[in-house]
Structure 1
Amino acid sequence: MVNDLKSALAALEAHQPGSLLGLRETQWLDAKKAPYRLTDDPKAAEELAKDVAAFANGGGGVIVVGVATRLEHDEEILDHVVGIDPAAVSVDQIRKLIRQRVTPAPRGVRVGWSGAEAGERVLFIEIPAQADHELFAVPAAVGKPGAPRPDTVAVPMRDGDSTHWMPRGEIVRLLSAGVRALGVPTAQAFAGLARQPESSVGPVSGPHVGQGLPDREREMRAAYEELTDAGLGEPAGEAWAQGPAALQDLRHEVDGQPGWVLCLVPEHPAVVVSEPVWQTIIETGRRAPHGQDPLAAVGSPRPPSGPDTPWAIPADAQHVDLDGGSWGPGRLTCSGRGVWRWQPVPRFSLNQGRAAEIGTAGQTPALRLRSLVNLPWAEASTLEINKSRRTQLEQFLPRSAVAGAVTILSRRRGAELPAARWERGPFANSARSVGYTCTVAGPGGIPAVRTSVMLALPTAMETAVVACADVLIENPEAWAAVLGPGRDTQLGLDEVQAVLLAAWETAAELLPDVVGEPASLSWAAPPTAELRITSERTAADGVLPTLDTLVDLAPLGPNDSGPMSKLAVAVTSAPTMERGDRQRLLREALVHMAQAYGYVDAEADVL
């Protein structure tokens, strides 16, 4: 239920702007039917600056553009989504005007889109609560519209669902209080201000580098001085701490150019990040669940290998390495179309998620080769599986990588048993899940080899989209019978690797297409793949057979931990990649797995 600023932002980030309908405009919410006409109406820039400054002065809020209202009992009620064309709005121009027209520039303002890609989109401008005792002003609307005079000032204030200008007497009172706080006579204070150059730093002209964080001020000043060649300009407000990072907004010296954010993280060189790139970092981490701090999720910018001195990340940077957050090492990369996307740096672990053994109830194959991919998309709650995508998947499955791998297993043993006929089940099929199975039967219809795929959207127990591809040797005896006399059903390590590679590719790249356009979705946590090799059919004595009776594990060398019925490894990586990269990563993961399970002499050259 949407009833406050936090829940409204959550609904917008989940691309559900319709959840705001029925709310009334209030202290933290303003709705506009049409976008600000910044290109052809000079007064629109004044309106934008006034609205943003009013929310900054009023404890924060959000402006939703593309939603019409109705008047009800003298209150504006959000009535219906009109939608606006993203091509008709320049987000960069909005950010630039806010920086230029609002003094000081409000910290953390976010401009984003909400709504389905193919549906009606709304723009939202989030103005977070600002530092205490900070007042935000705009040029007074005098003279020619669109040509603000630098020697005027006006202070907009949010009052319920309306915006009012602070009375002149109140502005004078606040100015007098500030002069008294300086401890010098009024005439002397104004005379000193007049003699100072506009860019000077001091108690009258504005905040100085490090102000607000006395314990970090010295190091922030040192970093600032080393980076002066970047043309950083002057502080736009006091420094603040965000987790372990010390941060400060800087106003660029060249009018109209993006500002900078000075960032200091313990045990790392200082960095200044162009404001648009910094905004991308914050927006990426803001999608983490449970209200986690953005930098605590994605981490802070990490220097390239080698530099131990401050460095700058300009507005035209193509990638940014991030580290130190709960998501682990990752990289933000900008596409040729200007779209940024975060992907994790590949790494391995033995951690198995809640879905690791999904679908095993009632299934006890002799051998299971599984690739399960966890896709924690931020927009997962808006996804659904429709009939056309399900039909498309049915057409692709007989030609999928995992179907080809199963066919090759038979061909290598002199038989032609294609994985061509796929049927629905045993997993449930609905708007929230798909499941298909292909069975190669032995004599008497006994299942010999089975290939199974499934994808499930989040449930109350599982927050990520889960995609899985299994290859099951259900009954080695039945498989041997259908293959023909003298056929060996034990799998070689190279065959296991080929099957896991094909299953991983199918689970990571083919199955997610049933939700639409996976590449357009953003992460709420790092995606992972879990690779498993398990023996699950117990013998007559109730004991699970060891894997080496079903798979030739001799190339891995001796096992110091003794025989076992399960091997598993988790890979944190981007789901989509070139096949050669996936093959290399698979080999590294299997070596990590083998060594962790006691095959201490295992090396990549045996795979």
Structure 2
Amino acid sequence: MVKDLKGVLAALDAQEPGSLLGLRETQWVDAKSGPYQLADHKAVEELTKDVAAFANGGGGVIVIGIATRPDHDEEVLAHIVGVDPAAVNVDQIRKLIRQRITPAPRGVRIGWSGADGERVLFIDVPAQAVDTLFVVPAPVGKPGSPRTDTVAVPMRDGDSTYWLPRSEIQQLLSAGVRALGMPTAQALIELVRHAVSEAGPGDGPRVGQGLPDREREMRVAYEQLAEAGLGQPAGEAWAQGSAALQDLHHERDGEPGWVLCLVVGCPPVVVAVPVWQAIVEAGRHAPGQSPLAAIGLPRPPAGTDTPWVIAADSRSVDVDGGSWGAGRMTCSGRGVWRWQPLPRFSLHQGRSAEIGTSGQTPALRLRAVVNLPWAEAGRLEISKPRRTLLEQQLPHSAVAGAVTMLSMRRGADLPAARWERGPFGNSARSVGYSCTIAGSHGGPALKASVRLALPTTMESTVVACADVLIEDAETWAAALGPGWETQLGFDEVQAVLLAAWETAAELLPDVVGDVAGLSWAAPPTTELRMTCEQPADNGVLPVLDEFVDLAPLGSNDGGPRSRMAVTIIAAPAMGRAERKSLLREALVRMAREFGYVDAEVDVV
């Protein structure tokens, strides 16, 4: 059972709402057995009161679809009732939160958790700025539009919500007046003047309000982009890191609003709300951080130095500045947005780099490990039909072709190898197969293996791996026969790594079904490795030069190596020509980092 807010959110994101059962309602969690009936004005008041109370109280989560039972004057989450998604208008909930809570709380996340029939809805209200008070229209007690000339302040107290008494509101107002250092009447006049100055008609917030240091800059940007028809501020401006942002909306329903976004070092931009929501949604599965902190903010096209507009019908937006690094949002013909990383390289190796190597000591291993951090991957499983299909495809796979290529290029007529299960167990959570070409004495000479593993308690991502191994140098030489070169050319290494990467990225993931609609919880990566793992009698590992002709890379200023590796941050699915080009760039980056400082793409 979870014990804190972080654990509650983690359980909900992992699609395990049942983990919340037995938890007591507290300062940071509230349970509702059924959805808010938003056709009823009282339910609307309750929704905005609950959200604003958490915003005022340090954050929390509302879980809808779990019934409670009383226990010693407290409410305990007892059983899952479930909510029918068709009965909930999530967009209306978002709109009401933006319109009825002043200022609109930042980073509110609305999502679903659990399997069909036991799905729950949750509203995650993160902690807000400590110097901000959130108010809602005072309850009217009868149907009708909310009054704009009254406010109430909901507060969270333990497992309940109460209205801040008038006396305490008066004390807060008095403290604000005293802070201005002027008589009450003059202070109130000054507050009113400041609130309406340069704000135009109406009594709403002005452009830049809430960020006094950036207010002038935001007003200038707003005026520069006025031709886009931005409407009026929907709430106070807010900060995301060093960026300044503000929601804008139109008075007329049916017209999408905008988000004004100022990123240091970039021209100002306004983003249509549908596109902005897609950006936020793409990053919402990032564990332990806000969506925008993960995915970043819109980045202008190269050469853009004037204010720019991302309209609702845009189909591609670059984003950067978040922990995920540079990426691109693209919209399909069906209107589905998806984030993918822009290709780049690093030397970081994840925990899965040596998956499945326990007990193995091949003379040379050429490996591609693809890390697929899909959101909600805990719900995936490997079905028998998909496993059977993989068994049929493996003999015709790219990695199988690479094994054949290595023997045929040396004139050897080696028998075709059969793909068999193992050496690791197959289950609903993992699948593995290997094929072995034996030497003249029956020992393994050349081997290929593939494996896909779903997340475990030790590894949070889906891992797909493809290996080609020279098990033993002498057995490999004996299998080829006398006179044949056993050392691999660097072009052969490229071909093998390309085939291993393609198999791990394209073929193996299909074993869990259609993955096109899955979202990322972190950037996907591919790790390419060349390793010598069979020590000599003295325990020293041989160097790569014994098995691979590294001459095309030039001289080595770093000394002999028994292993080299590089990581590619890129979308796993791509065309073969693009994959081949990216592979060459990655190998040059790897070579330079490991001492081959003169390596060039046109030589590799």
What's the TM-score once normalised by structure 1's chain length? Answer: 0.85
Partner in structure 1 of residue 580 of structure 2:
583
1:32 is aligned to 32
Return the match for 1:444 from 438, 441, 445.
441
Please show how residues 154-553 of structure 1 align to structure 2 within 5 Å.
Answer: 156-164=154-162, 201=199, 205=203, 207-255=205-253, 257-289=255-287, 291-292=288-289, 294-380=291-377, 385=382, 390-412=387-409, 413-415=411-413, 417-425=415-423, 427-429=424-426, 432-458=429-455, 462-483=459-480, 486-515=483-512, 517-539=514-536, 544-553=541-550
TM superposition shift of 1:449? 0.8
Q: Which moved more, 1:559-568 or 1:318-327?
A: 559-568
Deviations 1:159-181 (A, max 9, x none): 54445556678778877887888
1: CA distance, partners of 2:539 / 2:50? 72
- What residue in structure 2 maps to residue 4 of structure 1? 4
1:226-262 deviation line (CA, Å, top 9, x unaligned):
2223333444444343322233344445446444433
CA contact (8 A) 2:28 2:59 kept: yes
* 1:356 aligned counterpart, secondary structure: helix
AA aligned to 1:501 is L
- What's 1:15 paired with? 15
1:347 deviates by: 0.9
Report the 3-state secondary structure (helix = DSSP H, G, I; strand = E; otherwise coil) of the residue aligned with 2:10. Answer: helix
| Contact 1:142 1:149 (8 Å CA) reproduced | no
* Distance in 2 (alpha carbons) for counterparts of 1:410 and 1:192: 83
Residue pair 2:198, 2:206 contacting (<8 A) in 1 also: no
State the one-letter code of the partner of 1:134.
L
Measured in 1, the distance between the counterparts of 2:491 and 2:375 equals: 37
1:86 deviates by 3.0
Distance in 2 separating the partners of 1:214 and 1:47: 32
AA matched with 1:15:
Q
Superposition deviation, residue 377 in structure 1 = 3.7
Distance 1:148 1:207 in 2: 18
Tell me the equivalent position of 2:62.
Answer: 63
Cα 1:57–1:561 shift into 2, 3 Å: closer
Distance 1:315 1:419, change over 3 A: farther
Instruction: Supply the distance in 2 between the matched residues of 1:210 and 1:303 (Cα, whole angstroms).
Output: 22
The CA distance in 1 between the partners of 2:215 and 2:311, in whole Å, is 24
Alignment match, 2:100: 101
Residue 543 of structure 1, CA deviation:
5.3
Quick one: distance in 2 between partners of 1:547 and 1:173? 75
Deviations 1:49-68 (A, max 9, x none): 34333433444332222223
Structure 1 residues 476, 63: CA separation in 2 closer, same or farther (over 3 Å shift)? Answer: same
Report SS of the residue matched to 2:352.
coil
In structure 2, distance between residues paired with 1:583 and 1:451: 20
Across the aligned residues of Structure 1 and Structure 2, the Cα RMSD in angstroms comes to 3.8
Shift of the 603–175 alpha-carbon distance from structure 1 to 2, 3 Å rule, reads: closer
CA–CA separation in structure 2 for the residues paired with 1:22 and 1:316: 46
Letter in 1 for 2:133: E
2: CA distance, partners of 1:350 / 1:181: 54
**Structure 2 CA distance for partners of 1:168 and 1:603, relative to 1, 3 Å:** closer
CA contact (8 A) 2:414 2:437 kept: no
Paired with 2:51 and 2:490, the residues of 1 have a C-alpha distance of: 62
When residues 47 and 599 of structure 1 are mapped into structure 2, their CA distance, relative to the original with a 3 A threshold, is same
Deviation by residue 1:448-506 (Cα, 9 ceiling, x = unmatched): 11112223345565444332211011234434444456544433333322221111122
Q: What letter corresponds to residue 418 of structure 1 in structure 2?
A: A
Number of residue equivalences:
601
Q: Distance in 1 between matches of 2:254 and 2:104?
A: 13
Q: Per-residue deviation at 1:446?
A: 0.6
Aligned partners of 1:369 and 1:472 also within 8 Å? yes
Distance 2:474 2:128 in 1: 71
CA displacement at 1:441 relative to structure 2: 1.1
What's the CA shift string for 1:193-215, capped at 9, x where partnerless?
A: 7x999896399945443344333
Q: 1:570 Cα shift?
A: 1.5
Query: Bigger shift: 216-225 or 498-507?
Result: 216-225
**1:168/1:462 Cα in 2 relative to 1: closer, same or farther (>3 Å)?**
closer
Inter-partner Cα distance in structure 2 for 1:253 and 1:198: 18
Displacement of 1:447 in angstroms is 0.4
Between stretches 152-161 and 397-406, larger displacement belongs to 152-161
Q: CA deviation at 1:16?
A: 1.6
- Partner Cα separation in structure 2 for residue 433 and residue 123 of structure 1: 31
- Segments of 5+ residues of structure 1 without an aligned counterpart are none
Name the SS for the 1:443 alignment partner. coil
* C-alpha distance in structure 2 between counterparts of 1:251 and 1:83, whole Å: 34
The separation in 2 between residues aligned to 1:496 and 1:317, in whole angstroms, is: 41
Classify the secondary structure of the residue corresponding to 1:604: coil
Give the distance between the partners of 1:371 and 1:169, measured in 2 at CA: 67
Structure 2: distance between partners of 1:349 and 1:599:
16
User: Could you say which residue in structure 1 is the equivalent of 2:90?
Assistant: 91
Once the two structures are superposed, residues 417-470 of structure 1 have per-residue CA deviations (whole angstroms, 9 ceiling, x without a partner) of 334331311x35455543322111122311011112223345565444332211
Residue 148 of structure 1 deviates from its aligned partner by 4.5
2: CA distance, partners of 1:57 / 1:257: 30
Q: 1:316 to 1:121 in 2, by over 3 A?
A: farther
Flag the 1:156–1:570 CA change in 2: closer, same or farther, 3 A: closer
Structure 2 SS opposite 1:437: strand
- Choose 221-230 or 392-401, whichever is displaced more: 392-401
8 Å CA contact 1:70, 1:77 repeated in 2: yes
2:300 maps to amino acid: P
8 A contact 1:467–1:512 mirrored in 2? yes
User: What is the alpha-carbon distance in structure 2 between the residues aligned to residue 554 and residue 323 of structure 1?
Assistant: 38
The amino acid of 1:242's aligned partner reads Q
Is the Cα–Cα contact under 8 Å of residues 49 and 138 in structure 1 kept in the other structure?
no
From the superposition, tell whether residues 5 and 555 of structure 1 become closer, same or farther in structure 2 (CA, over 3 Å): closer
8 Å contact from structure 2 (residues 195, 205) kept in 1:
no
C-alpha distance in 1 between matches for 2:231 and 2:307: 16
SS at match of 2:18: helix
Change (3 A) 1:322 1:88: same
**One-letter amino acid matched to 2:17:** P
For the 8 Å contact 2:430–2:454, the answer to whether it is kept is yes
How big is the shift at 1:42?
6.0
